[in-house]
Structure 1
């Protein structure tokens, strides 16, 4: 029987150089029932602490601007380390520029909490982290056995993040493509039961891939789930017209992506 992780079971590593901000976040965490909190000033100290820490139930909450590197560099370093790539990461920042936040969105982060934020917003991010750590419940292995899924994303971290969620659902036959062009080649050769694709990719983006699948592929009816950080409503509307089965924002909650996958497969 799988053990369910609650907020009280979480161990939070808070990377925050501001003592005032660290105190505020710590107070909010304790109000939410988190009992194990370690506060560090730098990303280097955080990475060192993680190498010696018990990773079960560990969640990293980081500010964007740190003395030694940016929070985006911290999450990238974590995703490049096989031991740390599955540790949930939450960014707290007042930054809103897409080009700055994009590395975090593409990293498989659980949440981006924007300053100023409420305790409820932080709570939602914590529950998203716990949901990511918890194994899926009530999975019918008979339904997913033999399923073939194609993940299309130019971000290696995003592909790994999605692969982990799929494998937890019991899906083992997973193929990866780095862009739409490579995906087209794979779709010509192999039958898939589900395609999960990013929007912004080189060579051929997610909209173009979806249009190809719906109008030119012999697999025109395959469910297509788009997981994207794209915020332009006009572009997203064009994606919907192209025929995607569902769209999910990055960063995404594990429960949401599992639900969308289930809905896409039962249509």
Structure 2
């Protein structure tokens, strides 16, 4: 990992005093010393806009008195000053339709209640790695790479763009779905395609099939970053010829490794 947890500042958004005490104690055991606690989403946004210093991470419960955790992360991603702050959701919620906005937001982690200190620690290290990317990646001429990012979620595209730019990749093109990507692929050459699965007009599987069977760039690596959990659909994606699959939310180190591996192949 690239930084110590002692460098992190935590804004804990938790309405339950007992739960806040438990999480605070776990954080202190991990060496975190800068911990602020608020009980509602509006208070969290006010605190964030007031400035929380370097290395700030938000840990939020799903159900807050004035909004849901999904609303909080959506508001953060819509604010240019807050959009890059790592967000960790702590919740017992399991319904995919409820968690989907968090997965699409570029959240670092979703920690399921009840959780252990080790599980929280892993989420913290993922946030620390996101805040402090490595200086380089073991791929030659990274600055010249041409990357196509295809995702209907603007928050997900921004999240991926930030990770790519921190690796030194500057030539990034964004598309909102597979249909738009097909038009772009017909006109421009790319070294890597990163795509979501679930998108309108043309999904990630259909886009991958097009690339492998109809595109003049049939050999380009295709990395799928998705919240899809259906194993049958994911198997169909693999058969379509995707180079690698990464779950949402993903750890920054994982996406960097997959990008490196895909490009080497």
1:115 paired residue number: 113
- Stretches of structure 1 that go unaligned for 5 or more consecutive residues are none
- CA apart distance, 1:206: 0.2
Report the Cα distance in structure 2 between the residues aligned to 1:145 and 1:197, rounded to whole angstroms.
20
Aligned residues of 2:110 and 2:249 also touching (Cα < 8 A)? yes
Q: How does 1:31-180 map to 2 (within 5 A)?
A: 31-139=29-137, 142-180=140-178
Report the Cα distance in structure 2 between the residues aligned to 1:55 and 1:194, rounded to whole angstroms.
35
| Secondary structure of 2:59's aligned partner | strand
Report the Cα distance in structure 2 between the residues aligned to 1:54 and 1:116, rounded to whole angstroms.
28
Aligned residues of 1:41 and 1:66 also touching (Cα < 8 A)? yes
Report the Cα distance in structure 1 between the residues aligned to 2:7 and 2:41, rounded to whole angstroms.
23
TM-score, scaled to structure 2: 0.98
- CA apart distance, 1:5: 2.9
1:193 paired residue number: 191
- Stretches of structure 2 that go unaligned for 5 or more consecutive residues are none
1:5 paired residue among 3, 6, 15:
3
- CA apart distance, 1:6: 1.5
Corresponding pairs, count: 264
- CA apart distance, 1:55: 4.2
Cα 1:15/1:55, change in 2 over 3 Å = same
Report the Cα distance in structure 1 between the residues aligned to 2:98 and 2:73, rounded to whole angstroms.
13
Report the Cα distance in structure 1 between the residues aligned to 2:140 and 2:205, rounded to whole angstroms.
32
1:26 aligns to 2:24 (yes or no): yes
Aligned residues of 1:198 and 1:228 also touching (Cα < 8 A)? yes
Aligned residues of 2:138 and 2:260 also touching (Cα < 8 A)? no
**CA deviations over 1:173-230 (Å, ceiling 9, x no partner):** 0000000000000000000000000000000000000000000000000000000000
Aligned residues of 2:136 and 2:168 also touching (Cα < 8 A)? no
Aligned residues of 2:8 and 2:34 also touching (Cα < 8 A)? yes
Report the Cα distance in structure 1 between the residues aligned to 2:149 and 2:169, rounded to whole angstroms.
12
- CA apart distance, 1:137: 3.7
- CA apart distance, 1:138: 3.8
1:259 aligns to 2:260 (yes or no): no
Aligned residues of 1:224 and 1:246 also touching (Cα < 8 A)? yes
Alpha-carbon RMSD across the aligned residues, in angstroms, is 1.0
| Secondary structure of 2:144's aligned partner | coil
TM-score, scaled to structure 1: 0.97
Report the Cα distance in structure 2 between the residues aligned to 1:261 and 1:152, rounded to whole angstroms.
15
- CA apart distance, 1:141: 7.6
